[in-house]
Amino acid sequence: MAATDVLAFHQTLSNWGRWGDDDQLGALNLITPEVTAAAAATVRVGRTVSCARALDTRAAADNPNPVAHHMIGTVTEGGGADYFAVAPHGFATSHLDALCHIFSDGKLYNGYPAETVTAHGATRLGIHHLHAGIVTRGVLLDVPALRGVDALEPGEPVFPEDLEAAEERAGLRVRAGDALLVRTGRWRWRDEHGPWDAASLAAGLDASCLPWLRERDVATLGSDGVSDVLPSRVDGVPMPIHMVVIPAMGVHLMDNLDLDALASACAEERRWAFLLTVAPLVLRRGTASPVNPIAVF
């Protein structure tokens, strides 16, 4: 796919104005009360599974800005207390990107100017607009399981036909308002081979998946990587999924999730759809938040 094709997606796949000129939620508007209620009604056994990595305080090739964790209260002070600082963006921390995270041609999602992201934070599309959380049907598409491997190799692309084959394997169809989670097996690969520079080499979605995501009207998209395959396979566009999904489609991305336990639970329950809850921190004007998505069966 050429860069011109990806750039054209900013027009052909755009959701600008779909939910009004002052919209702050993007595709999360697809999660109506009816969608949430229907998702909640699918809970059968009450099993819960975390989809987050533990916050990592150790520097590594894929974690150049580790979480800083300091104790400010111990037995000496008469009680335990912490201080921690997190740079959520990157390739280590499980986080939710706000729609103010990515600019395209000087614009944010819905046409807001990039200048609304200031040294004091984002005056439009900040993560605090998600204070009520995300509660909808989650769907896991497990691509390594589809291909009969433990994990995809770093740099291995996922195509629309893979997503559809994974749907068929799971016996479902991704639909409007869903939280789509795509597993590549990144952390299984890391456990076996050690950390590497995931900013340069990572399994993920090929740019050809973008029309498919828009057609299915996913409300949010998550992966155990950053959704993009890296390198992107598109000259001149380093991260086409990020560059179209966020500013054009208004879809919040969840990066660096840990989907291994969820994949095991889905296989055991023989269900690849579940209630998913995501509760970002209410950080006014923030561009992201660490998250711990919880799947409920």
d(CA 174, CA 280): 24
Low-confidence ranges of the chain (pLDDT < 70): none
d(CA 256, CA 279): 16
Q: Give the pLDDT confidence score for residue 232 in this predicted structure.
A: 97
Supply the Cα-derived Rg of the chain in whole angstroms: 19
Q: Give the pLDDT confidence score for residue 10 in this predicted structure.
A: 96
Distances (CA, A) of 50 to 86, 245, 261: 19, 25, 8
Q: Give the pLDDT confidence score for residue 182 in this predicted structure.
A: 98
Q: Give the pLDDT confidence score for residue 48 in this predicted structure.
A: 98
Q: What is the dihedral of CA 258, 261, 265, 267, to 10 degrees?
A: 90
Element (H, E) at 204: strand 204-205
**What tokens were used for 150?**
């433990």
Q: Give the pLDDT confidence score for residue 133 in this predicted structure.
A: 98
Cis, peptide link before residue 231, omega less than 30° from 0: yes
The count of C-alpha atoms lying within 13 angstroms of the C-alpha of 296, restricted to the half-sphere facing its C-beta, is 15
d(CA 62, CA 113): 32
